[in-house]
Amino acid sequence: MQTPGDPRQTYLPRMEWHPAGKELMVQWLPRQQNVIRVYGCDVENGRARVVHEESDSAYIDVREDFRWADGGRSYFWTSDRGGWRQAFLQPWSKGEAVTMTPAGRDVMSVLFVEVDSGRMWLSGSSGNATQQYLYGSTSATSGIQRLTPADQPGWHDYQISSDGSLAIHTYSRFDEPPVIDLVRLPAHERVRVLVDNAELRARYSALARGTNEFFQVRIPADGNTTPREPGSAQPQPAAVTLDGWVMYPPDFDARRRWPVVFHVYGEPWSQTVKDTWFLGHHLFHRWLTQLGYVVMSVDARGTPAPKGRDWRKALYQKIGVTSSQDWNAAVQALCAQQGWIDRSRLSIWGWSGGGAMTLNLLFRCPDLFAAGMAVAPVTDIALYDTIYQERYCGIPQEVPDVYVRCSPITFAKDLRAPLLLVHGTGDDNVHFQHSERLFDELVARGKRFEYLAYPNRTHAIAEGRNTRAHLYDSLQDFVVRRVAPGPR
């Protein structure tokens, strides 16, 4: 196929046959990942014609929700080009695109499309970015309606059958293990329960638990210089609102002062603030509350929350920069608002990108936290995966200064708080070299820290007997030694 450009400097990330069998649909991006083209490639002579092209001043995502429609005369496509992730029906040859979902709210994912009948099932938010529901249209004129029952707030995932009539539905909440059932669409009628997790629910209910809350905190938007699209429908805000959650100890008393352990991720790959059950870290955090800590998390700008294009792309060439500013402002605001927070006993921990954010906050805001724990951290972004890092930061040879200012290792000289650094030596995602390089920098700067290496473990640090239990035990041991638990 005669797609343009040096193949060493371009990506062909997705392709599939056109229903007529005479062309191959190819998605094409340059190495900068700021343009996406859909090519129709002739299967007989290899010629490639441009079917569709769009660009972004930051970066543009590969489309995972591509669907053929009307026998291949058009295709289903989602785009941020209007400032929100909307669904469009794009012509394969000639004609105008048809907008299928309104602006002002993001489509989170497209699960099923049948254009001829007008049926479309998609996941989205009700305006609360911590929750996810199923929405759909049952005909070309019905409009988008919520299909998930209104009496089930929380997080809903769906696997849709090929004809769109059935779905495997997984429903959970922050402190409620999932129930998996089979439902009939669009009525969302339960056919049968597949997994009720009754035993897990009973065991978890027996634990000593405090209450949980979701909250929002407003912070200034100063310092954010995210590239904006011309004519963007989203004006630059003077302040932004961050979502967060808090888990309280069983004996929490707001009249006393409590230590807080913050959990952070803070990159475009994932949210931490979702109203859904997340088994591993959730139980670790519940344990910390039993020991006498309040546990909190916040989603800063740049996390993949359904808050519009400008929110999600706020970290372009500012990974570790904007998110550190947001976290610093959020923690300061929370301390001012909540009299029970003991400002002298704040700690933070994270894994992978969250490990990098832990380092960023310890190094860039050295007086904010009393201790931090970084697991498998990205310490120098020039060492990380090219397609990921270049998407969010640019090509290193073109913007070397971006790679310097976005890497926590650049600021390691300013470490003041106790640090626990954890890494698996067999990590094939965030390579062990990241921690080795930081180790050398901290030693050269005369900075003391604690270091735990798990031999031949990968990024999950889960291989081998008792490994994950040992890891969580080591984390709690460090925080208890460095930041005293319990109220004062």
Residues taking part in catalysis = 352, 427, 459
Name the burial class of residue 274, with classes exposed (0-12), middle (13-18) and buried (19+) by CB atoms within 10 angstroms of its CB: buried
Query: What's 12-46 look like in SS3?
Result: EEEEEECCCCCEEEEEEEECCCCEEEEEEEECCCC
Q: Are 295 and 385 in contact (CB under 8 A)?
A: no
Cβ(145)–Cβ(229) below 8 Å: no
